[in-house]
């Protein structure tokens, strides 16, 4: 009996220590970024362009660039993702065909982001001759987030109870009408949650935009989607590796990191809140 | 004189290999309440779903004829969506859409492509009055339909089917998920509605069939055992299985 | 008519995913092909020296592959016990209130962009490691493994937690009813039935770590020397692609070689992904 009790005591405390260690690591990491980041954060930092070879000034162009890249990629990927999910769930035939598509989506989801970057470089930048531009970067990012949008839309559509569809069919609605008027509106909050999560993902990616959209420095804001842009994640990387004045660059990198972090965490937090609210208010 | 609105001839139905309905031939009279009864799994819901071709959705195979107002609804080139408007259906569990009461009742009209606001308003009001729901909901038409009680939801579902002007209303155990008070109300409503419309009701509540129906169909293991006036079937059943079922020997 | 159209539109969009996947495969194979035909697939794969800009260039990526595997295994050594351990604790031991807070928090952590982990590694951890172990350089395989490990903890933990909490309550009750205590139930009943879910999390973590670019680019150090010890700077595959692509000429041999690396990387992640799908499908049957 004694041995069993000791084992249980040890076991529980070892497991407890794993979560404590994990949390200490992660919280330490967050804390450091927050403390260092907040010390440089100011309104000017957010709203001014960089000056003096990136050693002073703000990151406004990078914020704008990230905004454009993210929005455009979601605008491209969202309709494609939702329509694909509709096909997979509502028209799921023939089986072998669906299996091929599903395998493709799962494979896409696992492709490393740098490979997306190379694909974008070879196809959008070079082959289609879109050059290094917002368009090339957003197209690359949109393929990267497509599997996320498809998967979350699929889950959302599957959750719509069968009896809604049955009731609509019973009233003489066609399949298209059932999907557009009943299924999609009922699934919309969950579909949007997935889309919001994909915004967060697109905003934080660096490798896919390195060769397709991002530039270390431009003073001007982009005039069209054919311009190259600064972007926050790439800005952090570039400041840390290409800067020649580390003592001045590192704080700016921390400042950019805190803005990016708050953006991404804020986006995810919104999604989580919507989801829990939905679950609580759900009547079906 | 009773006119037959709906006729089935040698109706057979399979789901995959399972032979669910076997050689069913009945005549459904117009503007009456027709009950379909029988033990669980006898095919009564499946039979009901033949009349608006809801079984198509689950991939059923059908042989035989179902004639509605002179037209075979399986053979001739009919539009199944039109058919489902002509043959309304109410399900076991109230199944409102997650929309407002108004939007629920107007759904079929909008599907039909009707845009005229006044016409829609009028039909919504009319339909809700038909099911005695108007006075209860007229001040909260734009509230979510899930805020209604179960019985109200079910009556709203009936109004929703009504709005598109059906000739027949199929009721698939419409009170099985409701409390006795709501059940009473719906039973009264059904008796009232038969002045306007033909009603088919599947129920496993024998007493309910006795209370409200004019004709009764008794199914057993996918076969039609007996069809006739309710009072005759309930008092002098011709088949011993009908008698056993009605007296609670099985089911 | 409209209904048919609608169906075909959704079908076309669904097919796009297949098109994109093939687009990726075809583009990296076309661009990477010339390095295979010039150097031979096996020489490219198993050659031990990587000097793409020398005259003549040496294009052997074995050292890069080894470096990738080293930092990935290092990351899993950090993340596996911590991630799975925290998942068990959260799902089976922690009180429900703590779980309510920590579960979304961990999901939130999984969404932090990797470049921020890279920044942390470069600006904080690497100098720290250098001091503690008295090394000439803090940017090395060890630092990269730790940062990658911290990064994948939330992923592994979040997926394993789902696996543990989906083990049927009846099974747990059966075990307790036989007199088993918490730890015995966890290790003899819960863990075995959640095994495939945990494995899925591990494979996902593996895929994330080996495909991760920004962290290794910022923290691994970048030396092309063959791996000898954990405190040495290394150049994993993703590092080479990201760091060198800017210097190449489009269509040149170095450019092609970097796509060749991407092919190998794609194949590795493809296989790990396929394994994962097989485990998931087996689990759902």
How does pLDDT run across C44-77, given as a tens digit for each residue? 999 989 998 888 888 999 999 999 999 999 999 9
Strand partners, B9: B65
Report d(CA C209, CA C237) in Å as an integer: 12
Question: Band of the pLDDT at A102, cuts 50, 70, 90?
Answer: very high
- pLDDT tens across C202-253, in order? 999 999 999 999 999 999 998 888 898 999 999 999 999 999 998 898 889 9
Residues A77 and A103 in one domain: yes
How far away is chain C from the Cα of A222, in angstroms, using its nearest Cα?
22
Q: How many domains does chain A have?
A: 2
> What's the CATH superfamily of B4-246?
P-loop containing nucleotide triphosphate hydrolases (3.40.50.300)
Which residue of A159, A160, A170 is the best one to mutate when testing the B interface, meaning the one whose CB has the most B CBs within 10 A? A170
Pair C231, C137: CB distance under 8 Å: no
**Mean residue pLDDT across chain B:** 91
Residues of A in contact with B172 (CB under 8 A): none
pLDDT for the residue numbered A3? 82
Which residue of B73, B78, B97, B174 is the best one to mutate when testing the A interface, meaning the one whose CB has the most A CBs within 10 A? B97
Report d(CA B66, CA C51) in Å as an integer: 80
Q: What is the CATH number of domain C69-241?
A: 1.10.3720.10
Of B98, B99, B108, the CB nearest to A171: B108
Q: What share of chain B is helix, strand, coil (3-state, %, to 5)?
A: 40, 25, 30
What ranges do the domains of chain B cover? 4-246
Partners for B (CB, 8 Å, 3+ pairs)? A
In the predicted structure, residue C265 carries a pLDDT above the cut 70: yes
Q: Which residue has the higher pLDDT, C150 or A281?
A: C150
Q: What is the mean pLDDT of residues B53-74?
A: 89
Question: Band of the pLDDT at B1, cuts 50, 70, 90?
Answer: low
Question: Band of the pLDDT at A242, cuts 50, 70, 90?
Answer: confident
Report d(CA C157, CA C170) in Å as an integer: 24
Residue A122: closest C-alpha in chain C: C27
The percent of residues above 90 in pLDDT, for chain B, comes to 75
**Are the Cβ atoms of A181 and B111 closer than 8 angstroms?**
yes
How far away is chain B from the Cα of A199, in angstroms, using its nearest Cα?
28
Partners for C (CB, 8 Å, 3+ pairs)? A
- pLDDT tens across A105-154, in order? 999 999 999 999 999 999 999 999 999 999 999 999 999 999 999 999 99
In the predicted structure, residue A2 carries a pLDDT above the cut 80: no
pLDDT for the residue numbered C210? 96
Pair A57, A49: CB distance under 8 Å: yes
pLDDT for the residue numbered B38? 92
Q: Which residue has the higher pLDDT, B116 or A52?
A: B116
Residue C121: closest C-alpha in chain A: A29
- pLDDT tens across C79-130, in order? 999 999 999 999 989 988 999 889 888 988 989 999 999 999 999 999 999 9
The position carrying tokens 């139905």 is B13
- pLDDT tens across C8-20, in order? 999 999 999 999 9
Strand partners, B4: B29
Report d(CA A72, CA A139) in Å as an integer: 8
pLDDT for the residue numbered A222? 85
**Are the Cβ atoms of A83 and C13 closer than 8 angstroms?**
yes
**Are the Cβ atoms of C11 and A91 closer than 8 angstroms?**
yes
Residue A180: closest C-alpha in chain B: B111
Residues of A in contact with B54 (CB under 8 A): 166, 169-170
- pLDDT tens across B156-182, in order? 999 999 998 899 999 999 999 899 999
Phi, psi of B94 (to 5 degrees): -55, 130
Q: What is the mean pLDDT of residues A36-60?
A: 85
Residues A211 and A254 in one domain: yes
Residue A116's H or E segment, with its range, is helix A113-120
In the predicted structure, residue B76 carries a pLDDT above the cut 70: no
Stretch among A77-86, A244-253, B122-131 having the lowest mean pLDDT: A244-253
CATH label of the domain that carries residue A61: 1.10.3720.10
**Mean residue pLDDT across chain C:** 92
Q: What is the ipTM of this complex?
A: 0.93
In the predicted structure, residue A1 carries a pLDDT above the cut 70: no
pLDDT for the residue numbered A86? 96
Pair of tokens at residue A255: 């400042």
Report how far Cα A219 is from the mean position of its chain's Cα atoms. 26
pLDDT for the residue numbered C43? 92
In the predicted structure, residue A83 carries a pLDDT above the cut 90: yes
* B83 Cβ under 8 Å from any chain A Cβ: yes
Question: Band of the pLDDT at A56, cuts 50, 70, 90?
Answer: confident
pLDDT for the residue numbered B57? 84
Which residue of A31, A107, A132, A274 is the best one to mutate when testing the C interface, meaning the one whose CB has the most C CBs within 10 A? A107
Structural domain boundaries, residue A31: 2-40
Residues A60 and A34 in one domain: no
How far away is chain A from the Cα of B79, in angstroms, using its nearest Cα?
10
Q: What is the mean pLDDT of residues C182-189?
A: 87
Report d(CA A125, CA A214) in Å as an integer: 12
In the predicted structure, residue C285 carries a pLDDT above the cut 60: no
């Amino acid at each position: 009996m004694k041995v069993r009790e000791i084992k249980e005591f040890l076991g529980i405390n070892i497991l407890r220590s794993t979560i404590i260690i994990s949390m200490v690591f992660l919280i330490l990491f967050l804390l450091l970024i927050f403390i260092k980041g907040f010390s440089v954060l100011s309104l000017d930092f957010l709203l001014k362009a960089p000056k003096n070879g990136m050693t002073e000034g703000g990151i406004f162009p990078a914020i704008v660039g990230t905004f454009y890249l993210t929005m455009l990629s979601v605008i491209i990927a969202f309709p494609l993702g939702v329509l694909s999910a509709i096909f997979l769930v509502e028209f799921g035939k023939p089986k072998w065909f669906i299996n091929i598509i599903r395998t493709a989506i799962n494979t896409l989801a696992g492709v490393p982001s740098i490979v997306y970057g190379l694909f974008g470089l070879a196809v959008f930048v070079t082959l289609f001759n879109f050059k290094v531009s917002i368009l090339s970067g957003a197209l690359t990012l949109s393929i990267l987030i497509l599997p996320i949008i498809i998967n979350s839309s699929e889950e959302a559509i599957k959750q719509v109870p069968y009896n809604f569809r049955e009731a609509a069919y019973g009233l003489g609605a066609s399949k298209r009408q059932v999907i557009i008027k009943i299924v999609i509106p009922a699934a919309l909050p969950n579909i949007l949650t997935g889309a919001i999560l994909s915004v967060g993902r697109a905003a934080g990616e660096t490798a896919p935009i390195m060769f397709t959209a991002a530039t270390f420095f431009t003073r001007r804001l982009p005039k069209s989607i054919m311009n190259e842009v600064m972007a926050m994640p790439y800005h952090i990387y570039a400041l840390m590796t290409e800067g020649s004045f580390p003592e001045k660059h590192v704080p700016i990198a921390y400042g950019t990191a805190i803005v990016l972090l708050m953006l991404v965490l804020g986006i995810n937090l919104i999604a989580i809140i919507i989801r829990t609210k939905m679950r609580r208010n759900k009547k079906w | 004189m009773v006119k037959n609105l709906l006729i089935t001839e040698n109706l057979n139905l399979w789901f995959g290999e399972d032979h669910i309905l076997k050689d069913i031939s009945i005549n459904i009279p117009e503007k009456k309440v027709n009950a379909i009864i029988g033990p669980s799994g006898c095919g009564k819901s499946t039979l009901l779903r033949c009349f608006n071709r809801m079984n198509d959705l689950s991939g059923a195979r059908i042989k035989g004829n179902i004639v509605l107002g002179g037209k075979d609804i399986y053979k001739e080139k009919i539009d199944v969506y039109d058919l489902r408007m002509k043959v309304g259906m109410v399900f076991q569990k109230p199944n409102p859409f997650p929309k407002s009461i108004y939007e629920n009742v107007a759904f079929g009209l909008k599907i039909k492509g009707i845009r005229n606001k006044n016409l829609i308003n009028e039909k919504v009001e009319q339909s809700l009055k038909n099911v005695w729901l108007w006075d209860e909901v007229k001040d909260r038409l734009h509230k979510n339909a899930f805020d209604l009680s179960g019985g109200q939801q079910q009556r709203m579902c009936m109004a929703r089917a009504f709005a598109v002007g059906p000739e027949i209303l199929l009721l698939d155990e419409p009170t099985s998920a409701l409390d006795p008070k709501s059940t009473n109300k719906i039973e009264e409503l059904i008796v009232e509605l038969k002045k306007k419309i033909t009603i088919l009701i599947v129920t496993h509540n024998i007493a309910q069939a006795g209370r409200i129906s004019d004709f009764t169909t008794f199914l057993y293991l996918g076969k039609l055992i007996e069809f006739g006036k309710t009072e005759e079937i309930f008092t002098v059943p011709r088949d011993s299985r009908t008698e056993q079922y009605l007296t609670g020997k099985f089911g | 008519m409209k209904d048919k159209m609608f169906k075909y539109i959704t079908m076309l969009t669904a097919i796009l995913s297949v098109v994109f996947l093939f687009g990726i495969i075809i583009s990296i194979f076309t661009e990477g092909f010339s390095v295979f035909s010039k150097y031979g697939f096996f020489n490219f794969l198993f050659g031990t020296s990587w000097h793409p800009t020398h005259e003549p260039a040496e294009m052997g990526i074995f050292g890069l592959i080894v470096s990738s595997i080293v930092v990935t295994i290092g990351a899993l050594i950090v993340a596996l016990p911590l991630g799975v351990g925290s998942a068990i604790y959260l799902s089976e031991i922690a009180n429900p209130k703590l779980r309510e807070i920590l579960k979304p928090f961990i999901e939130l952590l999984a969404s932090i962009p990797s470049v921020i982990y890279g920044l942390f590694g470069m600006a904080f951890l690497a100098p720290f490691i250098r001091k503690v172990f008295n090394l000439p350089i803090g940017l090395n395989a060890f630092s990269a493994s730790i940062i990658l490990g911290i990064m994948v903890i939330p992923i592994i933990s979040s997926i394993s937690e789902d696996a543990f909490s989906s083990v049927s309550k009846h099974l747990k009750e059966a075990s307790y009813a036989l007199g088993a205590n918490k730890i015995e139930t966890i290790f003899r009943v819960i863990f075995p039935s959640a095994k495939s879910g945990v494995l899925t999390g591990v494979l996902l973590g593996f895929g994330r770590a080996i495909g991760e670019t920004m962290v290794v680019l910022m923290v691994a150090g970048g030396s092309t020397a063959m791996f000898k010890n954990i405190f040495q700077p290394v150049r994993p595959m993703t590092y080479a692609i990201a760091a060198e692509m800017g210097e190449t000429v489009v269509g040149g041999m170095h450019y092609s070689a970097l796509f060749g690396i991407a092919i190998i990387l794609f194949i590795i992640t493809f296989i790990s992904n396929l394994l994962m799908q097989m485990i998931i499908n087996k689990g759902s049957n």
